[in-house]
């Protein structure tokens, strides 16, 4: 198992919901472009301005769920065949210092119980020791901070929205969040077999690097990390607005 050295950085990610066949490739290529060299990488930080610690995605339509995680950087990988519509969540990782790096550590993280199949991606870093303590887990080395966060979420009572809200509330009470808490959650109901897609932004810093944007076009809605808006392939004919801070939103 490899551990990340150096400073804590932020990942890049996007999600799309609806009929996105005409734009998914361009949004994906935008992610690849900024992960190779992030135009918003803070100038005061030393190091490689790329997001090269693995990547992954979950794609869902009426007939399938495709879930994959990779150790190699997204810009060294072959683009998958995504569905033309449904739900798409893609994440490229820039691991926090001291966190494990490998295909098992790439996002999305996944958990399942008798009610839901759940996938989470996260941009930022958590105080892993605080979450693990709340879970009565002693071993901090074998999984990343975001996976502990998802484990905590899955142990809460209620439906999936109540689980997320309770976890976000406890994140403040028990000081789970170290830097940023930008998340996407896809939950597939095991009774209805339908997916619910949520996003939440808590950047905690007033700078563009940590901002997320909601983007809309006829047929689909999405949320993207700020860097993607600077990419040459990003669609220009979309409505763009900043994600409201500390507001859980379901895309429907």
Question: Taking the alpha carbons of 227, 129, 52, 93 in that order, is the dihedral positive or negative?
Answer: negative
Q: What pLDDT band is residue 46 in, cutting at 50, 70 and 90?
A: low
| DSSP class per residue in 138-179 | ---SSS-HHHHHHHHHHTSSSSHHHHHHHHHHHHHHTT-EEE
What pTM was computed for the model? 0.94
Question: Taking the alpha carbons of 189, 175, 38, 102 in that order, is the dihedral positive or negative?
Answer: negative
Dihedral (C-alpha) 215, 217, 222, 225: value to the nearest 10 degrees? Answer: -40
Q: What does the pLDDT read at residue 98?
A: 81
Radius of gyration of the chain measured on its C-alpha atoms? 17
* 8 Å CB contact between 88 and 126: no
Residue 4 reports pLDDT greater than 80: no
* Domain of 121, in residue numbers: 2-251
Find the CATH number of the domain harbouring 137: 3.60.20.10
Q: What is the pLDDT of residues 203-246, one digit of tens each?
A: 888 889 999 999 999 999 999 999 999 999 999 999 999 999 99
Give me 25's structure tokens: 């490739």
Q: What is the pLDDT of residues 124-153, one digit of tens each?
A: 999 999 999 999 998 888 899 999 999 999
Q: Average model confidence (pLDDT) for the chain?
A: 93
Residue 5 reports pLDDT greater than 60: no
Q: What does the pLDDT read at residue 6?
A: 43
Q: What is the pLDDT of residues 178-212, one digit of tens each?
A: 999 999 999 999 999 999 999 999 988 888 999 99
Q: What pLDDT band is residue 7 in, cutting at 50, 70 and 90?
A: very low
**Number of folded domains that form the chain:** 1
């Amino acid at each position: 198992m490899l551990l990340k050295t150096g400073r804590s950085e932020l990942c890049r990610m996007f999600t799309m919901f609806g009929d996105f066949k005409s734009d998914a490739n361009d949004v994906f290529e935008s992610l690849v472009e900024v992960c190779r060299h992030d135009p918003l990488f803070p100038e005061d930080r030393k190091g490689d301005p790329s997001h090269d610690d693995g990547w992954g995605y979950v794609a869902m339509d009426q007939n399938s769920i495709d879930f994959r995680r990779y150790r190699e950087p997204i810009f060294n990988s072959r683009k998958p065949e995504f569905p033309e519509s449904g739900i798409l969540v893609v994440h490229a990782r820039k691991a926090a210092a001291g966190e494990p790096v490998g295909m098992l550590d790439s996002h999305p993280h996944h958990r399942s119980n008798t009610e839901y199949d759940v996938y989470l991606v996260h941009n930022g870093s958590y105080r892993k020791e605080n979450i693990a303590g709340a879970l009565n887990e002693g071993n901090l080395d074998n999984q990343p901070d975001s996976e502990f966060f998802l484990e905590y979420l899955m142990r809460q009572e209620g439906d999936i929205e109540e689980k997320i809200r309770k976890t976000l509330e406890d994140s403040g009470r028990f000081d789970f969040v170290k830097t940023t808490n930008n998340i996407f959650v896809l939950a597939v109901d095991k009774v209805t077999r339908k997916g619910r897609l949520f996003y939440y932004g808590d950047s905690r810093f007033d700078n563009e690097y940590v901002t997320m944007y909601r983007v809309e076009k006829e047929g689909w809605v999405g949320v993207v990390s700020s860097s993607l808006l600077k990419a040459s392939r990003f669609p220009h004919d979309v409505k763009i607005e900043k994600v409201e801070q500390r507001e859980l939103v379901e895309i429907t």
